[in-house]
């Protein structure tokens, strides 16, 4: 018997894992199509432009975009420092405020993160990254029913982001709507066929729902996409147990 392992903290894994996840959205790059060097150059370019920019609102937005990419990279300290620079120029800059909230969350100060995100979402209710982060906080607090609408909002606004889609799926399952989660798998895996974590979680849901054949296929697809993962032996054992 294995428990359903939530993958809601994908935003906060190491740079290598995040970099291959094809995150897309406001301020984000398609990291599958560029190398790490070019990714870093994009960050440095934004910071350089921010330093020379005279308009405070544009300056803050450039810092916000850079902090967003630094979040994707996993550089927590620099993300926070960059976000503070942007907030100084424009105290309401949404990407900077979200990065600051993320910093507090990742440092274990969930209450401060919630306060900042609640204030931000009262003005920017459709901002996907803020909704996603608030959903993560609620899921970590074991409140999937409360987290679900935030993941739904992030997913609906930025439908091209596979992490938003995956975490919405997990929240649907964890909130007890298991049939809907099962029925949503084919749509999501067709849209994001190369996003490994989605296949792994699809298999877990399918197995829990008694769909052994479908679960086996999902696990096998995950292994094809994640040949060198540390969890490969465990997933292979799951497949063996289904036979």
Task: List pLDDT tens digits, range 58-106.
Answer: 999 999 999 999 999 989 999 999 999 999 999 999 999 999 999 999 9
Res. 24: pLDDT tops 90: no
CB 82 within 8 A of CB 108: no
| Pair (150, 204) in one structural domain | no
- For residue 243, the model assigns a pLDDT of 87
Q: Could you give the count of Cα atoms lying within 13 Å of 199 in the half-sphere of its Cβ?
A: 19
From 100, 129, 128, select the one nearest 115 (Cα to Cα): 100
Q: What phi-psi label fits residue 232: left (phi over 0), alpha (psi between -120 and 50 degrees) or beta?
A: alpha
pLDDT digits (tens, 9 = 90+) for 204-217: 999 999 999 999 99
Please state the pTM of the whole predicted model: 0.85
How large is the average pLDDT for residues 42-65?
Answer: 97
Res. 50: pLDDT tops 90: yes
Least confident of 12-21, 94-103, 114-123, 135-144: 12-21
Q: Is residue 86 part of a domain?
A: yes
The CA distance from 46 to 66, in Å, is 6
Q: Which domain holds residue 51?
A: 10-158
Q: Which of 95, 125, 158 is the last residue of a domain?
A: 158
Q: Could you give the count of Cα atoms lying within 13 Å of 243 in the half-sphere of its Cβ?
A: 8
CATH no. for residue 204?
Answer: 1.25.40.10
| Pair (205, 101) in one structural domain | no
| Pair (15, 79) in one structural domain | yes
The CA distance from 180 to 152, in Å, is 13
- For residue 39, the model assigns a pLDDT of 87
Q: Please report which confidence band the pLDDT of residue 23 belongs to, taking 50, 70 and 90 as the band edges.
A: very low
């Amino acid at each position: 018997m294995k428990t359903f392992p939530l993958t809601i903290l994908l935003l906060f894994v190491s740079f290598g894992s995040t970099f291959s996840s094809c995150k897309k959205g406001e301020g984000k790059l398609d990291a599958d199509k560029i190398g790490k060097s070019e990714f870093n150059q994009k960050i440095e370019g934004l910071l350089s432009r921010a330093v020379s920019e005279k308009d405070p609102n544009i300056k803050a937005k450039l810092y916000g975009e850079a902090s967003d990419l630094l979040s994707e990279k996993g550089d927590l300290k620099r993300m926070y420092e960059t976000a503070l620079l942007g907030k100084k120029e424009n105290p309401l800059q949404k990407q900077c405020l979200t990065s600051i909230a993320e910093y507090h969350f990742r440092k274990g100060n969930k209450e401060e993160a919630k306060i900042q995100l609640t204030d931000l979402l009262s003005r920017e209710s459709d901002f996907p990254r803020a909704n996603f982060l608030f959903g993560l906080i609620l899921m970590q607090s074991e409140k999937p029913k409360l987290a679900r609408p935030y993941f739904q909002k992030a997913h609906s606004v930025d439908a091209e982001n596979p992490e938003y889609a995956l975490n919405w799926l997990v929240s649907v399952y964890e909130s007890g709507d298991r049939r809907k989660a099962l029925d949503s798998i084919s749509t999501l895996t067709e849209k994001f066929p190369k996003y490994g974590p989605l296949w792994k979680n699809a298999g877990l849901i399918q197995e829990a729902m008694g769909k052994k054949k479908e679960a086996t296929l999902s696990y096998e697809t995950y292994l094809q996409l994640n040949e060198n993962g540390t969890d490969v032996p465990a997933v292979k054992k799951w497949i063996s147990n289904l036979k």
